[in-house]
Structure 1
Amino acid sequence: ELGAPWLARRGVSLLVITLSEPDEDFTRMRQVSRARWNIETLVIRNDPFAFLEIIRRLEEGATVALLVDRPPPPTAVTVELFGRPFAASVAAAELARASGCALLPVFLPRSGNAYEAHILPPIPYERARLREREERRRLTQAIISAFEPVIKKYPDQWFHFVPVWADAEPSGRQTNSA
């Protein structure tokens, strides 16, 4: 939520991909809030053509922002995070397969009274190999692996609002430390 306005102020045409929140009013509030910064939000529901809209926007030069750690069930693949199975979204790999887009991991940790934007090196891939589902899973693993040191360095700034692993405590806190 903080990185999008930062990019928009620098002239980046941004399309944020998000899931619908349980409360539709909250979904609309987020869309309106982003729109004030000229940030477009595409809410993924059950629209089979949403993927085509994202590809079209990439072809027009938009930057697409999405989360890989909160996958809707149809896009979930199992990868490894901190040595444990983890459900991640294969959507970034699917977009790479369909468009050849660059995959840039971005994170914004809080430092003192401000946030710092960090863009990691592009995740390399061979587009032709992404025809195979296993290659898309491997690419998703590479993306998650790029974030692992970041999560380890800033564990209190990884905001994951649902349990990550089955043995998480009901409070939402993990029983192991990352």
Structure 2
Amino acid sequence: MSKAVKCLILLAVIALFFVTELIPLAITAMGGAIACGLLGLIPAKQVFSGLSNSTVVLFAGMFVVGGAMFYTGLAQFIGNKVVSAVGTGENSLMFGLMTVGTVLSAFLSNTGTAACLLPVCLGICASAKIPASRQLMPLAFACGWGGIITMVGTPPNIIAAGALSNVGLPSFGF
């Protein structure tokens, strides 16, 4: 059996496990990497080499910072400051939430920031008696464009910087 056929069969099995979640997703992902090494599809020393990549470490750190923001109550504090600064008017609240989303997503993962600010936005909208449906999409857009401001805001920026430096080209940084 050729390596290509082995790889396709392994990919189908892993996809099946991901879709059905018969075993935990983390074990499925690690099992796929280990299986690639055991089947000889990749050299054994490269099975977990991706975990030593600085991009992976940076993303892990961003999740820790994002989780700490909400565990410590900083996110709720930010929500209260937004309301006290811009009031409860629909347009001013939208501007305030978008500003906070843009600034936070520049230094945290843009997807994580949007997910973390969602409950803050819902709480603010409920207390201000404003429909949340008009605030969530602008918040998502603000987190999206905030992520492209810095290198750590969105994965493609980090991946592009790493790829440039790997081939010896000048990279961009903070």
Normalising by structure 1, we get a TM-score of 0.26
Looking at secondary structure, tell me which structure has more strand per residue: 1
Looking at secondary structure, tell me which structure has more helix per residue: 2
Question: Considering only CA atoms, is the larger Rg found in Structure 1 or Structure 2?
Answer: 2
Normalising by structure 2, we get a TM-score of 0.26
